[in-house]
Structure 1
Amino acid sequence: MKKLAFFFLLCLCISAIGFGQIQTLRVNSQLTEATVFLQGAQLLRNASVNIPAGTSEIIISNLPTNVDPNSVQVKGFGKFMILSVNYRNDYLSDPQSTKAIKELQDSMQYYKRQIDYLNAMLKVYQEEESLILANKVLSGKDSGVQVSELKAAADFMRLRLGEIKKLWLQTNEDVIKNNERHERVRQQLNRMQASQSKYVGEIVVLVSANAPATAKLDISFVYPGAGWHPIYDLRSNSVEEPFDLNLKANVFQNSGEDWNNIKLTLSSGNPYRSAQIQYLSTWRLNFIPDVVVTGRSYQAAPMMAKESMGYAEEEIMDDYAGTLAEVVTVMENLTNISYAINMPVSVTGDNTFRLIEIQNHKVDAKYEYYVVPKLDSDAFLVAKISGWQDYINLPGNTNLFFEGTFVGKSYINPLNTSDTLVVSLGRDKNIQVKRDKKKEYTTRSFLGSRQIENIGWEISVRNNKRQNITLTVMDQIPVSTHKDIDITLDNKSLAKHEAETGFLSWRLNLKPAENKKLEFIYTVKYPKDKRLYLE
């Protein structure tokens, strides 16, 4: 009886010790959602694991490195309690290879197999050649050989040895080509692997359960190695049509893990910008004492951009803490704007840009021509686009297309652009412009100690297009920067004159084949012992 009681007590102790031990469970997670900011991304991952009763340590492995530990959040679903969450680096596990790296590795194996096969064939050809040459004796010493047999043997050796040499040369050339391809792939693979992290991150979640349960976890964190920037396409097929405004996003991430078929949201927010409201403190003014500073040392701290309400943004030191455009939902709030892509999206993890179309809109435009004959005799077609503010919220590069042709690039900054967006669509040779000096109005004379120069110009314009056009012609007269230089505009042919800049502008409406002549004359008076450069 005593032995039975002792055995029962021993079992209770063993079970109590087992219950008190922390069991480690390693589990992978699946990336399901990503909110990509202009710099950085918030990633949402899911994991599920069966946990025993008691305390367990769940290690969610194969995560990207350089994760902000303060941004890690874990939500649990099930009959258990989360005790703690910790992010750390795992230097023992190898990082997962991206799709691009796997493709390069497969290519290297393919070329290696090809090279091995071709080298084997070279050896076969060499052995066959040696076999033929080793059996070139046709008969014994004392017996002769018939001419027909000799001729047949010679023909065979010539033909077969020729074929062998030809095959050997071709195969050897294939070996060289495959070696070159294998080397290029190897170099590219080395470059990509050199940029890949040598270790992985992992999140350790300490949980407790009264009974065995299934723990479902939602893990989110901010990863800095991702981002996006907007790109705009402005397209028009003719001067009689509005513009198509296409907003696209260039998305990248270098986590080393391919994002495959995830839910993607693009945001203009900044996850690193402090959301804490700022308050003014009393500004106490006093004289600066005369102090000699021999040296100072500061503890390094990360840079964080804070924004004071009503004041300029500053950087301070803080303590460490069909088309896709058809399926995009725009979410706008007081601080940023977000675009939810309502279909699965994939982005490779090797820092390669993925171009995603977000929105398509039509915007009204007025077309007119613009020429500065003093600088260039070609007229430029420009479009004045209105209503663009409703669709362009972020600065970005712009691609311009007109009549199906790419005409150039521009840059749109909504903070620095007026209500009307003006873009150039290129030159038009069907508008002839000529600028000539009018000799009869260009004279030089003297009056006392003053020199007087009269200068006249004539601008000829012709519309060779089949439709009416609006043309703005720009020119100028000089502006005095010295009290002894007097400039007067004598004739401006109904031009608009800006006195401060000296600019002259004519706005013309020209019918097909219509000609117009513009002229302007100005006078410059200055001391005769001085020199000026005039046209």
Structure 2
Amino acid sequence: MKISVLCFLLIVINCFGQENYTVTTSKINEAKIYFSGGILKKSFSADVLPGKNFIIIKEFGRNSGIDISTFKTDKKVNVLRVESYSENSYLYADKIEKDFDRNIITDSIDYYKKVGKKFDQELALVKNSIGIIQKNQTLGNPSSTEILKMIEFNQTTLRNLYNEESLLTNKISINYNKVSVWENKKNRTSGSEETSKIIILHVRSDKKQRVNFEINQYLQEANWRPYYIIRSNGIKSPLKISYKAKIQQNSGNELKNIPIKLINGSFSAEDKPYELDRWFLRTDKDGNVSNQAFRSPYERSNSNVAEYAVMERPKVSQKAIKTEISLDKSTVIPSNVEITEDIDQFEVMTTYKYFTTPKLENKTYLLAYIKDYSKYNLLPGNADIVIEDTQVGTVTIDPNQLTSEMLISLGSDPNVLTKRELVKKETKNIGNKQKQESYFYEITIKNNKDSAINLELKDQIPLASDEKVKIELVNSDQAKYEASTGFLVWNIDIKANETRTIKFGFNVTLPEDLITIDIK
């Protein structure tokens, strides 16, 4: 009986007291990258035995911030701890493959060294042949026929040998460079670089089983931003918009052959809405009562700490509707390198208009108005403007406009010239200790383009801030005048190579002891 009990105890100790090691590889199943931050959905499988298991997970990537609550399993096991390989590498060094992909590199180096050795042998034979020929070229009292044959020999056989020598020398140089490239790669692919991607998961199981694990890994160092190239071939053609994304991630792994989604907005593991709490009405005698209704759950008093301590890990909540862009599965996003990916390309029907405010600057801008822009799902970002194959500048795309058309400035056009001048100023007394000042302006527009344009010109007259001062528009020259703002707006069609002149003015009536300033 004692022997049976002892055997049973030995079996139990052997099953549940031993430490088991297994090696597996992590797989990335999906990536979501936000304007700031991201999520990687990962998985791996491992065969565990009764007792404590050390699961060595290769190709996991950077693992800062990973904790045991991140690992979800399909079987009943206890996840005890997660650690980086570098923490206790001496415990696991003999349990994992030491060479990783270095075997491929070593094989390549050996191959090219063998090829180089073959080239060296061939070159030695060619040089030996050249040496033999050169030593036996001396002829005693040669005839003219023998001399011609020797010359012909040099021009054929010897020349071919020289060419072959040069060709082999070049091949040896190229092959040597290939060996150097692979050796450099071998040096870069050091054990520390590969082992930095390894984590060790401590798991306890009560039986032998295969366990599938899933992880949502939060990335702090990941981002993307929209980027556009807008092309115009003239005001009679639609705009061509290339919609692109500049993407960067620092997971330590290459993202490829997986669904990758780009999402606008910033990601945060604590991106969740506030919850209303009880709202106590306070009076001036209730200073000790603390209202919590307008505070974050993470800022509340210690009386609620226990309640929130048992809540699950914060999940991402959408505070606003987000735009998701799914990239093609062939997309590859390396770690630590910013790439540019094409998202879409389309033509948009556009209304063009030129715009100028010569009071501020003598530049005329080409504006493009895009109708129904919401259907293109554009996001705010920078755009390079290319007009007739020439990049003219960079603008900011802002689709968050409250109008039915989105306005894009395509930059200034040097072929449409404007000039504003104060051509006349008069001052006269009008009695009752008052005076009147008159100002007259001319604006000249010259269209040097070979096509007609529509131009919106904007100017203004001042507004009175003193009830003793009165301002009157003298000549609007068919402008649309808004008295409340003082703005004058002209919409003018100007033919090719045409020059137009706009004239307007205003009178200022004021006490004679007042002096106007800033009128130019």
Q: Taking structure 2 as the reference length, what is the TM-score of the superposition?
A: 0.66
Contact 1:72 1:222 in 2 (8 A): no
How far 1:423 sits from its partner (Å)?
Answer: 0.9
Contact 1:258 1:346 in 2 (8 A): no
1:425 aligned to 407, 410, 425, which one?
A: 410
State yes or no: 1:76 paired with 2:60: no
Contact 2:440 2:503 in 1 (8 A): no
Contact 1:265 1:339 in 2 (8 A): yes
Q: State the partner residue of 1:508.
A: 492
In the TM superposition, what whole-angstrom CA distance separates every residue of 1:308-345 from its partner, at most 9, and x where no partner exists?
Answer: 99899xxxxxxxx9xxxxxxxxx995345152638635
Separation in 1, partners of 2:518, 2:103? 68
1:236–1:107 CA distance, 2 compared to 1 (3 A)? farther
Contact 1:264 1:341 in 2 (8 A): yes
Taking the TM superposition and a 5 Å limit, the aligned residue runs for 1:122-137 are: 122-136=123-137
State yes or no: 1:22 paired with 2:35: no
Q: Which deviates more from structure 2 when the two are superposed, residues 364-373 or residues 456-465?
A: 456-465
Q: State the partner residue of 2:39.
A: 42
Q: State the partner residue of 1:474.
A: 458
Matched residue pairs, number? 478
State yes or no: 1:337 paired with 2:334: no
Q: State the partner residue of 1:263.
A: 259
State yes or no: 1:442 paired with 2:427: no
Q: Taking structure 1 as the reference length, what is the TM-score of the superposition?
A: 0.65
Taking the TM superposition and a 5 Å limit, the aligned residue runs for 1:116-265 are: 121-136=122-137, 148-149=145-146, 152-153=149-150, 155-157=152-154, 160-169=157-166, 171-172=168-169, 199-210=196-207, 212-232=208-228, 248-265=244-261
How far 1:76 sits from its partner (Å)?
Answer: 1.5
How far 1:204 sits from its partner (Å)?
Answer: 0.4
1:395 aligned to 380, 385, 389, which one?
A: 380
Separation in 1, partners of 2:418, 2:5? 111
Identity score, percent:
22
Task: In structure 2, list runs of 5 or more residues that go unmatched.
Answer: 283-291, 297-308, 310-315
SS at match of 2:62: coil
For the aligned residues, what is the CA RMSD? Answer: 5.9
How far 1:206 sits from its partner (Å)?
Answer: 0.7
State yes or no: 1:519 paired with 2:515: no
In the TM superposition, what whole-angstrom CA distance separates every residue of 1:270-315 from its partner, at most 9, and x where no partner exists?
Answer: 12545373889999xxxxxxxxxxxxxxxxxxxxxxxx99899xxx
Q: State the partner residue of 1:495.
A: 479
1:196–1:10 CA distance, 2 compared to 1 (3 A)? closer
Q: State the partner residue of 2:305.
A: none
SS at match of 1:351: coil
1:414–1:403 CA distance, 2 compared to 1 (3 A)? same
Q: State the partner residue of 1:86.
A: 82
SS at match of 2:455: strand
Contact 1:251 1:354 in 2 (8 A): yes
Letter of the structure 2 residue corresponding to residue 442 of structure 1:
K
How far 1:515 sits from its partner (Å)?
Answer: 7.4
1:350 aligned to 335, 348, 356, which one?
A: 335
Separation in 2, partners of 1:251, 1:98? 28
How far 1:18 sits from its partner (Å)?
Answer: 1.3
Contact 2:445 2:500 in 1 (8 A): yes
Q: State the partner residue of 1:382.
A: 367
Separation in 2, partners of 1:462, 1:236? 19
Q: State the partner residue of 1:459.
A: 444
1:519–1:130 CA distance, 2 compared to 1 (3 A)? same
Contact 1:40 1:227 in 2 (8 A): yes
1:195–1:224 CA distance, 2 compared to 1 (3 A)? farther
How far 1:25 sits from its partner (Å)?
Answer: 1.6
Letter of the structure 2 residue corresponding to residue 15 of structure 1:
I
Task: In structure 1, list runs of 5 or more residues that go unmatched.
Answer: 284-307, 313-320, 322-330
1:145–1:10 CA distance, 2 compared to 1 (3 A)? farther
Q: State the partner residue of 1:304.
A: none
In the TM superposition, what whole-angstrom CA distance separates every residue of 1:110-137 from its partner, at most 9, and x where no partner exists?
Answer: 9877766665554444322222234445
Letter of the structure 2 residue corresponding to residue 265 of structure 1:
K
Separation in 2, partners of 1:248, 1:457? 45
Separation in 2, partners of 1:28, 1:159? 61
Taking the TM superposition and a 5 Å limit, the aligned residue runs for 1:281-360 are: 333-339=318-324, 341=326, 344-356=329-341
In the TM superposition, what whole-angstrom CA distance separates every residue of 1:475-510 from its partner, at most 9, and x where no partner exists?
Answer: 4678999xxx99986434243568999764312356
